[in-house]
């Protein structure tokens, strides 16, 4: 028997990826847009608080269990920035190219270009669930000035994986899902939900 689950996102890629991973353990994943759920505010300074706010928001409106993620890139030399502000690092409207340019410029004066992608997933059984299920993933790399690769999105063309000699944008979708912060968090969540 399958149970419906609302994903606190309308991202088609996430919907597909999460749906494939959660189907074997009995969940049918639906985007929040199917239920006319608008995006929740993300006013918090931490990934976990924002993910929890999004999950509770979707669960409250739909009455269904909900799953939300919050993720971003954190540069060590910048004290973890852009962090929770990754999507809007260069301001509104959101722009991957402007965000990448700002990150490269902000790191230019620093010798340390190390960074990591971080993802937290929060699953709530209902809006007021006192024990949300939380899983996280971290993917280490470094920021390079010149973009490489055509795949991925966001900071991927500038996110180098030194051990592979490739950026995240140069990986196949399968490689990225296997290695990435989101893939790690999703596999950890599946284990907890089993």
| pLDDT tens digits, one per residue of 83-125 | 999 999 999 998 999 999 999 999 999 999 999 999 999 999 9
Q: What is the pLDDT, as a whole number, of residue 70? A: 96
**Nearest-angstrom CA–CA distance, 95 and 89:** 9
Q: Catalytic amino acids?
A: 70
Q: Looking at the domain covering 3-193, what would its CATH class be?
A: alpha beta
Q: What is the DSSP string of 87-99?
A: GGTT-SSP-HHHH
**Nearest-angstrom CA–CA distance, 6 and 90:** 30
Return the closest-CA partner of residue 190 out of 19, 63, 51, 56.
Answer: 19
Instruction: Taking residues 171-185, report their average pLDDT.
Output: 92
- The verdict on pTM exceeding 0.85 is yes
| pLDDT tens digits, one per residue of 36-73 | 999 998 899 999 999 999 999 999 999 999 999 999 99
- What is the overall mean pLDDT for the chain? 95
Domain limits, the chain: 3-193
Q: Report residue 31 as tokens.
A: 């985007």
């Amino acid at each position: 028997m399958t149970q419906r689950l609302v994903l606190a996102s309308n991202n088609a890629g996430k919907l597909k990826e999460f749906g494939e991973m959660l189907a074997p353990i009995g969940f049918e994943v639906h985007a929040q847009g199917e239920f006319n759920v608008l995006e929740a505010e993300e006013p918090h300074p931490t990934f976990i608080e924002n993910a929890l706010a999004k999950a509770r928001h979707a669960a409250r409106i739909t009455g269904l269990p909900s799953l939300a993620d919050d993720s971003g890139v954190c540069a060590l030399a910048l004290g973890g920035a852009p962090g929770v502000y990754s999507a809007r690092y260069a301001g509104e409207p959101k722009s991957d190219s402007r965000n990448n340019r700002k990150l490269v410029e902000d790191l230019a004066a620093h010798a340390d270009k190390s960074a990591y992608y971080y993802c937290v997933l929060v699953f709530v059984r209902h809006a007021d669930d006192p024990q949300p299920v939380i899983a996280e993933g971290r993917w280490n790399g470094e920021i390079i000035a010149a973009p490489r690769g055509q795949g991925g999105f966001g900071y991927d063309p500038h996110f180098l994986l030194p051990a592979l000699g490739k950026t995240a944008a140069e990986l196949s979708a399968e490689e990225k899902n296997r290695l990435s912060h989101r893939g790690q968090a999703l596999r950890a969540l599946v284990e907890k939900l089993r």
